[in-house]
Amino acid sequence: MVLQDITAKVCSLAKTVGNFIQTEAQNFNFNSVEVKSFNQLVSYVDKTAEEKLVAGLQIILPDAGFITEEQTIVTEQKEYMWVIDPLDGTTNFVHQLPVYSISIALMHKGVPVIGVVFEPNRHELFYAWKDGGAHLNGHKISVKQNNELSKALLATGFPYYDFDLMQRYLNTLQEFLRTTQGMRRMGSAAVDLAYVACGRFDGFFEYGLSPWDVAGGIVLVQEAGGKISTFSGTEDAIFGKEIVAASTQIYDSFYAVIHNGFKA
């Protein structure tokens, strides 16, 4: 299996589905929004985009299984698994805020080996494959070369349905607001991770996440020279529901604040 060739096909598919999303965005009606659960929105755009992605990925790798957000196909564990978020940042999309993305990852025996994140508003295609480096629109990218937390620009995602750790989160956020050059909240974890990979952000952290939110972006950050973990330092960030992502230079100091802020 040539991962670079598969990645190229996934990139083409992501751009095609991204064009569909942008076409629908021009005349999107908020009344078509459904509420899956508290503060978790979905529309026909999410579902149709996922169906298009599943159909295209089945052609690329017919024997692979799927883990998808909108569950348009039954999850069946296989050696190769696609992990898909057809519209990461749905809340932004339905409110016409131009920060959302398509995120696609391929895992082999639980290890992510391909990651693609397409941000259609800026026409930015981020992609990476294992041992092949990370790229943006044909150019190699890498994490930021900065070793001082005081000079770092960081990203986070606000809790929007799981508020059990809210106070710990706010304490951590307050520490970063006091000690860095700023915090940003984009509303799409896949975009946040892509921005860490290309050096726009020094680091990103969030909890309450699902595999499809982060799988594609994790490959980007790792292949761009960054480091990924959970708040407790383990490597299972895809299924761990929380993530710390940063350049290797800033990771230790960034992680220490998060770990101390969230520990019981």
* Domains recognised in the chain with CATH numbers: 3-141 (3.30.540.10), 149-262 (3.40.190.80)
Residues with Cβ within 8 Å of residue 200, at least 6 apart in sequence: 144, 153
- Report the pLDDT value the prediction gives residue 36, as an integer from 0 to 100: 74
Do 219 and 114 form a contact (C-beta atoms < 8 A)?
Answer: yes
Give 10-residue mean pLDDT values along the chain (264 residues). Answer: 95 98 90 74 89 97 94 87 96 94 97 98 98 98 97 94 88 96 97 98 96 97 98 94 97 97 82
Rg (CA), the chain: 17
Number of Cβ atoms within 10 Å of the Cβ of 140: 13
User: What are the residues facing 156 on neighbouring strands?
Assistant: 205
- Report the pLDDT value the prediction gives residue 71, as an integer from 0 to 100: 86
Do 51 and 34 form a contact (C-beta atoms < 8 A)?
Answer: no
Do 183 and 135 form a contact (C-beta atoms < 8 A)?
Answer: no
Q: Cα angle vertex 83, ends 66, 21, to 5°?
A: 105
Number of Cβ atoms within 10 Å of the Cβ of 19: 12
- For the entire predicted model, the pTM comes to 0.95
Round to whole Å and give the CA distance between 204 and 76.
31
Residues with Cβ within 8 Å of residue 182, at least 6 apart in sequence: 153, 154
